[in-house]
Structure 1
Amino acid sequence: MRALVVRGGWEGHQPVAATELFLPFLTASGFEVRVSGSTAVYSDRSVMAETDLIVQCVTMSSIEHDEVAGLRAAVAAGTGFTGWHGGIADSFRASSDYLQLVGGQFATHPGKEPGARCGDETDNFLPHRYELTELGREHPITAGLGDFELTTEQYWVLHDDLNDVLATTTHPVQPWHPWRRPIVSPAVWTRQWGDGRVVVSTPGHSLDVLREENVRTVVERGMLWAARTASAS
């Protein structure tokens, strides 16, 4: 099995350090791992044809038309595609083809009460809960896990119903926010794209979140589940 780790984009999500956390797991799981600091690899048909799993950590940034076309074609042919937080759910905002592939786009992360803000990233660190769906309690990625809580960025995600949602998080009504009813966002989901599997987990802003037992379990199981299956080989 061959895994391709693609990392870059906004440095605030520490793409190198974050992906390094999972390289030993991939190797121990039997993957031959290739690391790329550019999405240009997506346009290399020979590399993509032999790749069983893509792990992407590229926040924001941009992607060329032939690169996203290569990524979509590889996933449709059976290559798994996965990642966490902004590295997959806030990538390539200007590419509608990429957004359709992934099935969810970061919109915002609500913040603290204005008087409690200090002007750094912690202004958006809120205590919140992740709740497994009925599907999530049975799915191989999340089976055996319970609902859990984190204090970090809580992603508000725009999404569609092709996703199979394994866990959700709810944004409550607060007097300093303009919405007037609770908003439920998908937090972990899978998506079938042709013969390929897509897995997205929205927690993962920082290394401490990625090391949290539930988050790390979801990411690692997601890698194994997304990887090319025998039926797609």
Structure 2
Amino acid sequence: MRRALVVRGGWEGHQPAEATEMFVPFLREDGFAVRVEESTEVYADTAVMADADLIVQCVTMSSITREQVAGLRTAVASGTGFTGWHGGIADSFRESADYLQLVGGQFAAHPGLDGEYAVSHEIAFTELGRRHPITGGLADFTLRTEQYWVLTDDLNDVLATTTHPARAGEPWQRAVTVPAIWTREWGAGRIVVCTPGHDLDVLAHPTVRTVIERGILWAARPAR
């Protein structure tokens, strides 16, 4: 039986407990033994991390110690899968450059006008995304929710993008396209980031949920 470690906490606005509980039954049904931790202290536990085949993280903002992020990086490099959604993975531990390098993307903004951050926007699959096991066969879709502007690097394999238009009242002067869903290989480990997922309704969207569930299976270490 493979072991999944669910790590949650941080800003309560992203409902870390309720959001992760949406996926615990899926993990168990797929044969994972699930351990839930309410802080990142577990990342510094060498024995637990060495035994984990998958980490599902939902910790927005918050902080992490040098020892904890080192434990996470070591586990992923050794083959532990690492995945999550929205701020729970892409807006975590802003002060840790080592975490940012591991994940390959950092939330920068969710632009909106007049304080309204829920905007209608499209998630468009890339050519790679249309044939990747996580996103293959899925159609482009539109959400009305926070649209993440992320800063990333080209070690990522981008499966889907979203475009921030140049709107009146905003300082950027041309449309900006950024990754919305990506994978990243780190040593023997696989990472999957899905930026949609602000609330439970978005996580319940059929395509978003499919991406997260397929991402879990793709990222997890094969049975040993």
TM-score calculated relative to the size of structure 1 = 0.95
Partner of 1:217: 210
> Structure 2 CA distance, aligned partners of 1:107 and 1:101?
17
Give yes or no for the alignment of 1:147 onto 2:147. no
Partner of 1:62: 63
> Structure 2 CA distance, aligned partners of 1:77 and 1:20?
27
Give yes or no for the alignment of 1:80 onto 2:81. yes
Partner of 2:200: 207
From 112, 121, 124, the equivalent of 1:128 is 121
Which structure 1 residue ranges, 5 or more long, are not aligned?
Answer: 118-122
Q: For each residue in 1:99-129, what CA deviation from the matched residue of structure 2 results, as whole angstroms up to 9, or x when unmatched?
A: 00000000000013x3xx5xxxxx1000000
Partner of 1:12: 13
Amino acid at match of 2:216: M
Partner of 1:3: 4
1:34-45 alignment, distance < 5 Å: 34-45=35-46
Amino acid at match of 1:8: G
> Structure 1 CA distance, aligned partners of 2:131 and 2:99?
29
> Structure 2 CA distance, aligned partners of 1:151 and 1:38?
30
Partner of 2:172: 179
TM-superposed CA distance for 1:134, in Å, is: 0.3
TM-superposed CA distance for 1:229, in Å, is: 2.9
What's the secondary structure of 2:42's corresponding residue? Answer: helix
Partner of 2:31: 30
What's the secondary structure of 1:229's corresponding residue? Answer: coil
TM-score calculated relative to the size of structure 2 = 0.98
> Structure 1 CA distance, aligned partners of 2:127 and 2:222?
24
TM-superposed CA distance for 1:202, in Å, is: 0.1
CA RMSD between the two structures = 0.7
TM-superposed CA distance for 1:28, in Å, is: 0.3
Runs of 4+ that moved beyond 4 A: none
Q: For each residue in 1:137-173, what CA deviation from the matched residue of structure 2 results, as whole angstroms up to 9, or x when unmatched?
A: 0000000101000000000000000000000000001
> Structure 2 CA distance, aligned partners of 1:104 and 1:49?
25
> Structure 1 CA distance, aligned partners of 2:94 and 2:57?
15
What's the secondary structure of 2:197's corresponding residue? Answer: coil
What's the secondary structure of 2:183's corresponding residue? Answer: strand
